[in-house]
Structure formats: C-alpha cells, structure tokens
Structure 1
Amino acid sequence: MTAVNITNVTVLDNPAAFLNPFQFEISYECLVPLKDDLEWKLIYVGSAEDESYDQMLESVLVGPVNVGNYRFVFQADPPDPSKIRDEDIIGVTVLLLTCSYMGQEFIRVGYYVNNDYDDEQLREEPPPRVLIDRVQRNILADKPRVTKFPINFHPATIGPPENPAPPPDPMV
C-alpha cells in the first residue's frame, strides 16, 4: 500500500531561458502519518550516453508528514552548462523529479526537455560555440512519464524477541 500519492505537478515558468531556475508546483496527499521526511530531488540528465554528466539540481526534505493534502513550490537552480558537453546542450534531454522516503525512491516523474535557440537564424545557423544566454528550454509538461516503485513506508521496528529469556531469579 502506498502512503503518498502525487496528485498534480505543474511546471511553472515554461518555456524559459536555459539559465532560469526550474519551478514546479507539487500537490500530494498523505494517507498515513509518516514519522520521517520525504526527500524531493530534481535531476538534470546532461547526456543520454553518460550519466556522469547528470546534475542533481536540488534536494529538499519535507516533513514529518501527517495525513492530509499538501502543496508546495519546488524551485531549483538551472544546470551548470560548464558541466555539460557543448554537443549535448542543444537538443532533447530529460529532467527527473523524484521522491523518496527513508532512502527508498517511490516515485519518479520524467519530463522531456527541448533546448534550442530563441532565434530562428541561430537555429538555422548555429554558432561554433553555444551561446548559452540565447538558449531556451521547453519542458514537455503535458507528457510526463511517471514510474512508481513499491517501498515499505513502515519498516519493521526491532521489538522484543519472540521467546525472551526468563528474568533472573531475585536475590533473597
């Protein structure tokens, strides 16, 4: 049984300049009280061929979480373009929004992101070096890919053994 359901994710400020912060309004419901925080992360995939170019843009802890409906705006800095190969800046990539509980990821929302120049002439005749301040990103917000993972929201706590040893005899 899941304890948390994401009910809506709205991508704010989209399309936007590549160097603008990412903003998501996240709505979710909690069905059972959770004693620990939820960890939300935003990851930018810098290269389809090499995950060493991936950048975790932000990680935030929310909680503890009681039963109810919640909504917050998750903001993250843009990726550092110096950590992305020039040939991977323009084109399509992926942005991953994940949520974990006690180190266990239970949902991942993936978005395709199209990065291209904001000017028709630059699109038709790209300069030899990427002009990052002229790159615009467009998150394909209406087609997220949602993957859910079963996790244990209430790991067993260590309790007394099933056959405890008898107490020692009292001293007389």
Structure 2
Amino acid sequence: MSVVSLLGVNILNNPAKFTDKYEFEITFECLEQLEKDLEWKLTYVGSATSDQYDQELDSLFVGPIPVGVNKFIFEADAPKTSRIPDADILGVTVVLLTCSYDGREFVRVGYYVNNEYETDELNADPPAKPIIEKIRRNILADKPRVTRFAIKWDSEASAPAEFPPEQPEADLQPDEDEYGADELDEEVEEEGPEAAAAAKGQDSAAAAAAGDGDAEMGGVEENGDAAEEDESDEEGSVDLENETEDELEEEIEGEAAEGGDDAMDVDEKPAGATTKPQQVMAH
C-alpha cells in the first residue's frame, strides 16, 4: 500500500500563453509520518522523435509532510524554445508531473498539451519561423494518464516483493501429464501450414505481451505482482511519448478550450527549493 496517495491535480491557468508559467494545485494524502521530503518534477516533452529535447521545467521538495490531506501550489517556467525544434513547437505534445520519495518515483501523471496560434489565419498558414508570443497552449486537463509504482518507503516492510510468491501447487502435476511442445508440434503438422502459421502468431503475441513491461504512462496501477486498472483512466494503458502527432491530435480534436481557475499568488522559489504543504482539515 502506498504511504502517499495523489488525490487530485488542478491546473490553475489553462488555457494560457505558451510563455506563461505552469501552475498546478496538487492535493495528496499521507498515511504515515515520513522521514524525508517529497520531490515533485514537471517535464516538457519537446519532440516525439527524441528524448534529447525533453526539458525539466522545475523541481520542488515538499516537506515536512503532516499526516492527513495536504495541498500546495507547484509553479514551473515555460519551456525554453531554443531547445525545441521549430517543427515541434506547434501541435500536440506532453507534460509529465512526477513525484518521488528518497529518489524513488511512485506516481507519474501525463497530460496532452496542444500548442496553436491565437488566430485562425496564422493556424491556416503558419510562418516558417514560429511567432512564440502569439502561440497559446491548452492542456487536456480532464484526461490525465496516471501510473503508480510500488516503492519502499521508510521501512523494509513497505518494500515491494522482488520476486513473485512461491507456487508449490504448480509442481504437483506430473510432467508426463502436461501438454508439451512435442504434442503441439505434431498437431500443427497434421493440420497443415495454416495451423502452423496460426500457432506461430499465437506464440508471437504471447511473447510480445510478456515483453511489453509497464507502460510509462498507462493509467494503470502496479501493486507488487498484480496490475490493477486506475479508476481515473478508463482508456487503458497509453505511452504518450511514443504516440504519433496524428494520434495525439485526434485525442485533442473536438475538445473545447475552457478557461481554468484564477491563478493563486504564491512565493516564487528556485529549482530544488523546499516548500511546506498546507494541510487540509477534515470536516
């Protein structure tokens, strides 16, 4: 069980100009007293073709963490356009909000971001050199992709199992009673080449499923041995960084641009600074 649970993220300034700061109001619950602070990071994916254009916009240590429900404001600067290819400034990309404890990431939230010009004329005929001050961003705030990871917290008892549990009952069945590869090959040969192709396809699908691993931003929750679908994401596992721009634009298309909540005034803090969360009192 996770000691810290992310309860909600509210994007305060959305939509906004491309050059505006990102402002997130983050609410989380802490079940036990923690010895260390939480580290939050915001990363901008600059290009779908290479991660060398990813930018860490800001990082913030939050603590000490009181037990209960807590809330704080996380601000991060806009990405530096000099580090983004001109061809990738407009269109759809991703921002990743992550949180780690003692260097171990336990939750990741990904949002689609659509960057476009403020006027239809510029969108219809965009200039070769992007006009940054006329670009606005719209974060698809209602469709985050959430991934949770089981980590060790302060005690060894909280550490996730490194290996699957023992299954002694699996060894009770005699080997000669099992349906082995030899019998399967004989059946495939008898049924002809079409059956052989089908069997090969099944083997390939099984191998692919076994090798997929955990989606980086899949809307799924990993708890030790079992993966449980996250209630906040009904669309299943999705790797946002590997999706094509056309697929991302289809996700964005049809979404109306709606204004976010008014931004809250907070003290600016340098990257890596520590802030204290505001505890939310239960009624």
| 1:124 counterpart = 2:94 | no
Equivalent residue for 2:112? 112
Structure exhibiting the larger radius of gyration computed from Cα positions = 2
Gaps of 5+ in 1: 157-172
Equivalences for residues 59-138 of structure 1 within 5 A: 59-138=59-138
Residues in 2 aligned to 1:131 and 1:145: alpha-carbon distance in whole angstroms: 30
Residue identity matched to 2:139: I
Residues in 2 aligned to 1:134 and 1:94: alpha-carbon distance in whole angstroms: 20
Higher helix share: 2
What's the CA shift string for 1:81-117, capped at 9, x where partnerless?
A: 0100000000000000000000000000000000000
Deviation at 1:48, TM superposition (A): 1.0
Deviation at 1:74, TM superposition (A): 0.5
Residues in 2 aligned to 1:151 and 1:95: alpha-carbon distance in whole angstroms: 23
What's the CA shift string for 1:43-70, capped at 9, x where partnerless?
A: 0000111111000001000112131111
TM-score (norm 1): 0.89
Equivalent residue for 1:24? 24
SS in 2 for 1:14: coil
Residues in 2 aligned to 1:137 and 1:149: alpha-carbon distance in whole angstroms: 29
Equivalent residue for 1:48? 48
Deviation at 1:128, TM superposition (A): 1.3
- Kindly indicate whether the alpha-carbon contact (under 8 Å) linking 2:35 and 2:154 is maintained by their aligned counterparts in 1: no
What is the percent sequence identity of the aligned residues? Answer: 54
Residues in 2 aligned to 1:128 and 1:69: alpha-carbon distance in whole angstroms: 48
SS in 2 for 1:121: helix
Residues in 1 aligned to 2:10 and 2:139: alpha-carbon distance in whole angstroms: 11
SS in 2 for 1:123: helix
SS in 2 for 1:26: strand
Equivalent residue for 2:12? 12
TM-score (norm 2): 0.55
Residues in 2 aligned to 1:150 and 1:44: alpha-carbon distance in whole angstroms: 24
Residue identity matched to 2:18: F
Higher strand share: 1
Residues in 1 aligned to 2:65 and 2:101: alpha-carbon distance in whole angstroms: 11
More deviation in 87-96 or 58-67?
58-67
Aligned length: 157
What is the aligned-residue RMSD (CA, Å)?
1.1
Residues in 1 aligned to 2:109 and 2:153: alpha-carbon distance in whole angstroms: 19
Residue identity matched to 2:141: A
SS in 2 for 1:32: coil
Equivalent residue for 2:245? none
Runs of 4+ residues over 2 Å off in structure 1: none
Equivalent residue for 1:143? 143
